[in-house]
Amino acid sequence: MSGAQMESTEVLLRVEGLRKVFHTSSGDVQALSDVSFDVRRGSLMGLVGESGSGKTTLGRCLLRLVEPTAGKVIFDGMDITRLDARGLKAMRKRMQIIFQDPFSSFNPRMRIRQIVGEALIAHGIGRSRRERDDIAAGLLEEVGLSADHLSRYPHEFSGGQRQRIGLARALAVEPEFLVADESVSALDVSVQAQILNLLQDLRDRRGLTILFIAHDLSVVEYLCDEMAVLYLGRVAEMGPSEAVYGTPAHPYTRALLSAIPTIDTARRCGRQILTGDIPSPLSPPSGCVFRTRCPHVIERCGEVVPKLTALSGRHQAACIRIGAFKDQERPVPEMLHLARLREEGD
Ligand SMILES: Nc1ncnc2c1ncn2[C@@H]1O[C@H](COP(=O)(O)OP(=O)(O)OP(=O)(O)O)[C@@H](O)[C@H]1O
Ligand SMILES: [Mg+2]
């Protein structure tokens, strides 16, 4: 197999130099700047970053629910930023997104049968109501609900069950790629774990490729094969999860990880408290956007925009000081103590 062929089977989605500027009355919001990454076919990729870092905007740009200002989104070899309305409709059957709170997107007066059936009708799936009901029942079972639920209304379900209904509706069109936008952040941890396990099962069973958007790095660690860390509209670090978690390189990733109280992360990163707020995307800092909160900042950080640099394999980070500060950081004894207490409590 040639290099190009190998690439076409491995990479389902390629993002190149993606930029999104929102023009608002208070100025131009730089929501995404020069974002590039690949999503490998059949992988579960996590996208993390603080509120306002551009995660939802990125997820929406991938499906062109938000129009990118510049850059390419290449899905299975096709640049979707160039598709006309018809091409886009066909593409949307292959790419689906589920949102933070699926309840808000359900019509409360519709039964689950109609909610899932609507998606089937929109894409011409199922010839009769009977056939669509059968398909919908199968989908509900696939997401851990049952056919009995078809005649119920959204308010009759728990938050976790509503997530599952949203998932069933997204799966109705048999997509190849799914963006799950923080679909579990509002739920408690055990429910989150169940949904995440379900996504993993679906990935394995259906060969789905999933981009999972989350605030919480501890959740993503156990779930995702690959991950990308976004800060103020730029990728700070990305790569296979073991690499990003095992040997985090960017000061921002290290700070995020050190906030998770486990023995492991405390050992890897020491404790770093991120101070200050994320700067306004109306006037992002010059050079490295993280420099205003970085414990390792030097003058040059204000002068050059750091490029993503390969560390090992696909692991990359965008920082001009990588390697210069790793050894200065030591685990903080009380963090280890806290982690031990937690473990004993389990
Ligand atoms: N339609 C819009 N018009 C103007 N600005 C927008 C619009 N949508 C998003 N933004 C801005 O773009 C930036 C990125 O927003 P986005 O919603 O993508 O962040 P996020 O990472 O998803 O945050 P959260 O974790 O809170 O969901 C923010 O500064 C936001 O205010
Ligand atoms: Mg968001």
Ligand 1 within 6 A of 200 CB? no
CA separation for the pair 6, 323 (Å, rounded) = 33
Nearest ligand 1 atom to the CA of 215 is 25
Q: Which ligand is nearest to the CA of 54?
A: 1
Among protein residues, the one with the nearest Cα to ligand 1's atom 2 is: 22
Query: What amino acid is encoded at 260 in this protein?
Result: I
Among protein residues, the one with the nearest Cα to ligand 1's atom 18 is: 54
In whole angstroms, what separates CA 16 from the centre of its chain?
17
Q: Which of 41, 14, 17, 6 minimizes the C-alpha distance to 210?
A: 41
Give the pLDDT band (50/70/90) at residue 2: very low
CA distances 114 to 78, 118, 172, 280, 316, Å, are 33, 6, 12, 42, 45
Most ligand 1 atoms within 8 A of CB, residue of 22, 63, 179, 182 to mutate? 22
Nearest ligand 1 atom to the CA of 233 is 14
Nearest ligand 1 atom to the CA of 49 is 21
In whole angstroms, what separates CA 283 from the centre of its chain?
25
pLDDT digits (tens, 9 = 90+) for 80-106: 999 999 999 889 889 999 876 655 678
* pLDDT surpasses 80 at 265: no
CA separation for the pair 182, 298 (Å, rounded) = 34
Ligand 1 within 6 A of 56 CB? yes
Residues at Cβ < 5 Å from ligand 2 ion: 55-56
Q: Which ligand is nearest to the CA of 55?
A: 1
* DSSP structure class, residue 41: T
Among protein residues, the one with the nearest Cα to ligand 1's atom 25 is: 51
Going from N- to C-terminal start, the domains of the chain cover 3-94+175-345
Q: Which of 169, 159, 75 minimizes the C-alpha distance to 120?
A: 169
DSSP state letters, 157-183: S-HHHHHHHHHHHHHTT--SEEEEEST
CA separation for the pair 69, 206 (Å, rounded) = 33
pLDDT digits (tens, 9 = 90+) for 145-183: 999 999 999 999 988 888 899 999 999 999 999 999 875
pTM of the predicted structure, to 2 decimals: 0.88
Domain 3-94+175-345, CATH number (from 3.40.50.300, 3.20.20.150, 3.30.429.10, 3.40.50.720): 3.40.50.300
Give me the mean pLDDT over the 280-287 stretch: 95
Q: What is the sign, positive or negative, of the torsion defined by CA atoms of 306, 179, 246, 269?
A: positive
Q: What is the sign, positive or negative, of the torsion defined by CA atoms of 44, 45, 49, 53?
A: negative
